[in-house]
Amino acid sequence: METRANHVWVGAVTLVLLAMLAAFIIWLARLGQGDQNEYDIFFKQSVSGLAKGSQVNFAGVPVGQVSDIVLWD
């Protein structure tokens, strides 16, 4: 009877460890994505030189890129 109890205990611990490993792998996969926010910015003046795909810098540090440019009336 003692051997059967040990097998159940080993199986339970193995399942818990596999679940923790799966959660860790999912956490690592999401770690590289970071926060991705989208902002709508409106300009009254000309934005010459700005194009789709242009790099956006904040204090000299690249923080994103222009995804779309639309003209409004």
In a domain? residue 70: no
Q: Which domain holds residue 55?
A: 2-65
**What pLDDT score does 73 carry?**
67
**What pLDDT score does 60 carry?**
92
**CA–CA dist 45, 8 (Å, integer):** 71
**Sign of torsion over alpha carbons 16, 19, 23, 24:** positive
pLDDT tens digits for range 4-31: 778 889 999 999 999 999 999 988 887 7
- Residue 1's pLDDT band (boundaries 50, 70, 90)? low
Number of domains the chain is built from: 1
In a domain? residue 21: yes
pLDDT tens digits for range 43-60: 888 888 888 999 989 999
The neighbouring-strand residues paired with 55 are 65
**Which one is predicted more confidently, 39 or 31?**
39
Phi, psi of 12 (to 5 degrees): -65, -45
In a domain? residue 42: yes
**CA–CA dist 73, 69 (Å, integer):** 13
Does this model's pTM top 0.85? no
